[in-house]
């Protein structure tokens, strides 16, 4: 979150229109260069209007384990607890125990994970710049949010991604899939093996010419 004023705006808006804010915050620990991602709940007044979700998928590489937690004030959490109890039987206890262990154990692994993504980010951004594709450095997450390369300006992100996968075998997420403001961008997920980025850059170089 770039601008702390944004969360203040959200709190004001939610209060005005009586809206519950659900802040999905699964990447808050995958941060780089000393950046600390803020919690929505640290914003004055946020606890009256919102809750925050955390997933173990990214921080502890537990994707697919279906475990996370939600934090917030009792009146806002209670209906969710009730609803969940009608809906299913909850997370298996061995998964809950593993998650509790992940929180209690030394957290070096979290910084190691973040450092691995930071290294991939730097390698990829440098490589993309060399082939003429300028992308900003993100402060967090395992993703790059990239404007379409110059040769594709004015064309659709979905069209770009479809042709990209056909021509190169590389998968990117079209920005349009994240809402109308995402058009003109693609999301790259740096979640493959370190050794594959070099090959990806060679294929991209040919593709964006």
Please work out the total of residues on this chain that contact ligand PLP, with binding judged by CB under 6 A.
Answer: 6
Tokens 């593993």 belong to which residue?
98
Note whether 157 and 174 are within 8 A (CB). yes
At its nearest, how many Å lie between ligand PLP and the CB of residue 2?
16
Q: Looking only at residues 17 through 36 of this chain, which bind ligand PLP when binding is defined by CB under 6 A?
A: 24, 26
Note whether 149 and 132 are within 8 A (CB). yes
At its nearest, how many Å lie between ligand PLP and the CB of residue 207?
25
Residue nearest to ligand PLP (CB): 55
User: Is the Cβ of residue 48 or residue 113 nearer to ligand PLP in the bound state?
Assistant: 113
Phi, psi angles (nearest 5°) of residue 31: -120, 160
User: Which listed residue (38, 48, 57, 70) binds ligand PLP by CB under 6 A?
Assistant: 57
User: Is the Cβ of residue 135 or residue 173 nearer to ligand PLP in the bound state?
Assistant: 173
Note whether 19 and 49 are within 8 A (CB). yes
Q: From CA 204, how far away is CA 196, in angstroms rounded?
A: 12
Question: Per CB under 6 A, which region of 41-49, 55-63, 78-86, 128-136 contacts ligand PLP?
Answer: 55-63
Angle at 185 between CA 184 and CA 188, to 5 degrees: 160
For residue 63, state whether it binds ligand PLP (rule: CB under 6 A).
Answer: yes
User: Is the Cβ of residue 61 or residue 151 nearer to ligand PLP in the bound state?
Assistant: 61
For residue 113, state whether it binds ligand PLP (rule: CB under 6 A).
Answer: no
In this structure, the number of other CB atoms found within 10 A of the CB of residue 120 comes to 18
User: Which listed residue (31, 43, 55, 157) binds ligand PLP by CB under 6 A?
Assistant: 55
User: Is the Cβ of residue 143 or residue 160 nearer to ligand PLP in the bound state?
Assistant: 143
SS3 per residue for 143-205: EEEEECCHHHCCCCHHHHHHHHHHHHCCCCEEHHHHCHHHCCEEEEECCCCCCHHHHHHHHHH
Please report, as ranges, the residues that interact with ligand PLP according to CB under 6 A: 24, 26, 55, 57, 63, 68
């Amino acid at each position: 979150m770039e601008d702390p004023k944004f969360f203040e705006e959200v709190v004001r808006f939610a209060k005005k229109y009586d809206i519950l804010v659900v802040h999905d915050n699964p990447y808050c620990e995958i941060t780089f260069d000393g950046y600390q991602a803020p919690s929505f709940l640290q914003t004055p007044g946020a606890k009256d209007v919102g809750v925050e979700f955390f997933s173990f998928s990214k921080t502890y590489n537990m994707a697919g384990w279906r475990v996370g937690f939600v934090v917030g004030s009792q009146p806002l959490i209670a209906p969710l607890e009730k609803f969940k109890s009608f809906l299913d039987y909850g997370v298996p206890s061995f998964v809950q125990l593993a998650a509790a262990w992940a929180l209690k154990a030394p957290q070096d692994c979290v910084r190691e994970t973040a450092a691995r993504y930071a290294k991939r980010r730097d390698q990829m951004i440098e490589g993309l710049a060399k082939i003429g594709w300028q992308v900003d450095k993100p402060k967090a997450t395992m993703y790059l949010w990239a404007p379409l390369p110059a040769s594709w300006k004015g064309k659709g992100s979905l069209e770009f991604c479809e042709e990209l996968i056909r021509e190169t075998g590389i998968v990117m997420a079209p920005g349009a899939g994240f809402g109308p403001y995402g058009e003109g961008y693609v999301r790259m997920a740096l979640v493959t093996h370190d050794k594959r980025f070099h090959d990806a850059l060679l294929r991209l170089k040919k593709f964006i010419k």
